[in-house]
Amino acid sequence: MSKPFLLLLIAAILLQGCTQQQPGLPPGDKDNGGLLLPDGFQAVVVADSIGRARHIAVNTNGDIYVKLSYNDIMHGQGGTVALRDADNDGKADIIAYFGDYKDEGGLPAGISIHDGYLYTTTIKYVLRNKLTPGELIPTSQTEVILTDDDPDLFKHWHSHKTLAFDNEGNMYVPFGAPNDGGQDMAKVGPAGVPNGKGLDPSPDLATHAGIWRFSADRIGQTQKDGYKFATGLRSVLGMAWSPLDNSLYAVMNGIDNFHTRYPSVYSSWQAAVLPSEPLVKVREHADFGWPYAYYDQIQGKNVLQPAYGGDGKLVGKAAAFDKPLLGFPGHWAPMDMLFYQGDQFPGRYKQGVFVAFHGSTDRSPYPQAGYIVCFVPFEKGVPTGNWEVFADGFTGVDTVFNTHDAKYRPMGLAEGPDGSLYLSESNKGKIWRVMYKGDKQHFAETQLASMELRKSRTYIKTPDSVKDNLGQGGEMEGLILYNSYCATCHQRDGRGDESRYPPLAGSEWVTGDKDRLIRILLQGLQGNIQVKGKTYNGVMPAHGALLDDHAVASILTYVKARFNKTYSPIATDEVTKIRNTK
């Protein structure tokens, strides 16, 4: 990891001495690159399809740096992308891939520019390179600032690293929870099981589910060199130091799949909207309650988590934990946040925070939600309680049935030297530059009215428990239930055991008659069957008494999509019909 970053594009080498000029704002795209923005704002697409983009950073000369998702090494050339707009037309003229790192595990990573250095993170490392004025790709020696030396690092759920820096030379790094809700993973397996019980006291809190403070300049640190600043935070990908009050803020991803794991306690509707994705002010020694508690934005309070005996109303020990400043709807997946400091936007945007929502995966049978960038106004240093839709149009569709229906998924936020706001998305790697060209002095509620109407969209509003039930199985629920009820025999890869239990991958029983497939899961099957030309004689137990109709639909939707690449969701009504057929 000590080798220098690779210099990969000749064009970038030739143009290293050309710093970007900022004579004025470039024209926005005719359609704002597909974005819907408040009146007076315009957007231009800087680059498109650069790879699965995650977090983004912009240098003082306007050069843009994007960390790619997971293990992506684009074109064999590296997992970080540098973009330069040399002629100030808003479009990147140079796109260079670099970086000699590759991580295992398949989880997101971050990027930041601080004190003249480009910091990049993988699951295991925080790295940095000195940026030389005029150079696009850093040629300095790569320094390893932090190494996560957890021996089980790649088994954990939330091992991603994001960064924030204060004004005193400190760097803040989250170490996410190793599981979803504090369950004993030795018993429940990678995806958890219904009614999984939480360990109390939780052994995870000693080294996980919190934010640690480190020196931003010290090379060769490990977690033991840091200071545990705050705890009780399940998964933090968005974190920022606020210039409003010189404090650390974060947005947290909450626990998933309440109905799937606790069907006797939570309805599908409750599981779709709970628990909140909270915005928190991270004071030293703060404890936000994971895994024992979660924040319910509807009730406006912390309540006991179901793995610890909660029923959706019981408070108990949850009363002792810090409350968030604001609770966003459940499963919106906040990925980044930014306190705007520029002078280009109307002044109100310097009193609040932008938050990018990647969008949900587990709200079925209700529409998936999120997929926007919002703005949270502050008043006297705290949120007013009302958040605004700032950028919309990412989904490309009115209703997101399953996550892959969304065309784009918002991810990273960064501010340019002229006050432009840069947005990244992770599906294709599209980068937007958002600019304000209206009258700053007369920007008011009328300019926000059209964006307020966007809150009626199915991927933004609180779903009606009856009218918005789409009646289709969900892939995320199906994944969890499949691993709980089916993987022991059919294996996690769906290929069976080559002996008693047949494969589901490529099976004509899965791709064939839908009613027959539903009936097998509900009623079971025994005796000789032919699958892909081979005879099997195992016993498929009936699951109708264990699983409700939505659970059955979700498992079969997952099996068809995951193992047979068939996107044809099973409807809950289809299962109900078969169940009621004598």
pLDDT value at residue 41: 98
Measured CA to CA, the distance from residue 235 to residue 216 in angstroms comes to 22
Which residues have CB under 8 Å from 70's CB, separation 6+? 52, 103, 106, 107, 108, 109
pLDDT value at residue 567: 72
Q: Is the pLDDT of residue 14 over 90?
A: no
One domain, residues 265 and 324:
yes
- Min mean pLDDT across 57-66, 74-83, 475-484 is at 74-83
- Is position 466 within any domain? no
Instruction: Show which of 456, 490, 524 is a domain's final residue.
Output: 456
- Is position 196 within any domain? yes
Measured CA to CA, the distance from residue 88 to residue 23 in angstroms comes to 8
One domain, residues 445 and 501:
no
**Mean pLDDT comparison of 230-234, 496-500, 532-536, highest-scoring range:** 230-234
| CA-to-CA separations, 84 to 80, 184, 461, in angstroms, rounded | 14, 48, 38
At position 469, the amino acid (one-letter code) is: N
Mean pLDDT of 177-193: 68
Q: Hey, is 294 helix, strand or coil?
A: strand
pLDDT value at residue 20: 40
Give per-residue pLDDT as tens, 201-246.
Answer: 999 999 999 999 999 999 999 999 999 999 999 999 999 999 999 9
Give per-residue pLDDT as tens, 466-489.
Answer: 999 999 998 888 998 998 899 989
Instruction: Show which of 425, 456, 487 is a domain's final residue.
Output: 456
Band (409; pLDDT cuts 50, 70, 90):
very high
pLDDT value at residue 69: 80
- Is position 5 within any domain? no
Longest dimension (CA), the chain: 78
One domain, residues 322 and 365:
yes
- Is position 117 within any domain? yes
One domain, residues 39 and 136:
yes
One domain, residues 329 and 431:
yes
pLDDT value at residue 448: 95
Give per-residue pLDDT as tens, 319-357.
Answer: 999 999 999 999 999 999 999 999 999 999 999 999 999
CB atoms within 10 A of CB 346: 19
- Is position 4 within any domain? no
One domain, residues 397 and 510:
no
CATH number of the domain encompassing residue 565 = 1.10.760.10
Mean pLDDT of 58-70: 92
Give per-residue pLDDT as tens, 355-407.
Answer: 999 999 999 999 999 999 999 999 988 999 899 999 999 999 999 998 989 99
Q: Hey, is 194 helix, strand or coil?
A: coil
Phi and psi dihedrals of 521, rounded to 5?
-70, -40
Question: Quick one: which of 244, 121, 133, 108 has its CA closest to 171?
Answer: 121
Q: Hey, is 90 helix, strand or coil?
A: coil
One domain, residues 349 and 491:
no
Which residues have CB under 8 Å from 257's CB, separation 6+? 180, 192, 271, 362, 476, 477, 480
One domain, residues 518 and 384:
no
One domain, residues 55 and 198:
yes
Instruction: Show which of 392, 426, 456 is a domain's final residue.
Output: 456
pLDDT value at residue 40: 96
CB atoms within 10 A of CB 110: 27
One domain, residues 246 and 353:
yes
- Is position 576 within any domain? yes
CATH number of the domain encompassing residue 40 = 2.120.10.30
Could you tell me the residue range of the domain that residue 397 belongs to? 10-456
Q: Is the pLDDT of residue 8 over 60?
A: no
Quick one: what percent of the chain has pLDDT higher than 70? 91
- Is position 524 within any domain? yes
The secondary structure of the chain in percent helix, strand, coil, rounded to multiples of 5, reads 20, 25, 55
pLDDT value at residue 2: 37
Band (190; pLDDT cuts 50, 70, 90):
very low
Question: Quick one: which of 22, 23, 86 has its CA closest to 60?
Answer: 22
Strand runs labelled E in 185-338: 210-215, 221-222, 227-231, 236-242, 247-252, 277-282, 293-296, 301-304, 326-328, 334-338
pLDDT value at residue 195: 56
Mean pLDDT of 115-127: 94
Q: What is the pTM of this model?
A: 0.92
One domain, residues 18 and 119:
yes
Q: Is the pLDDT of residue 5 over 60?
A: no
Counting the structural domains of the chain, the total is 2
Mean pLDDT of 400-419: 95
**Could you tell me if 279 and 375 are in contact, meaning their C-beta atoms sit under 8 angstroms apart?**
no
One domain, residues 345 and 489:
no
For residues 394, 397, 403, 408, the Cα torsion angle rounded to the nearest 10 degrees is -20
- Is position 397 within any domain? yes
Give per-residue pLDDT as tens, 557-574.
Answer: 999 999 988 778 899 999
| CA-to-CA separations, 285 to 211, 231, 321, 556, in angstroms, rounded | 10, 7, 11, 45
pLDDT value at residue 18: 42
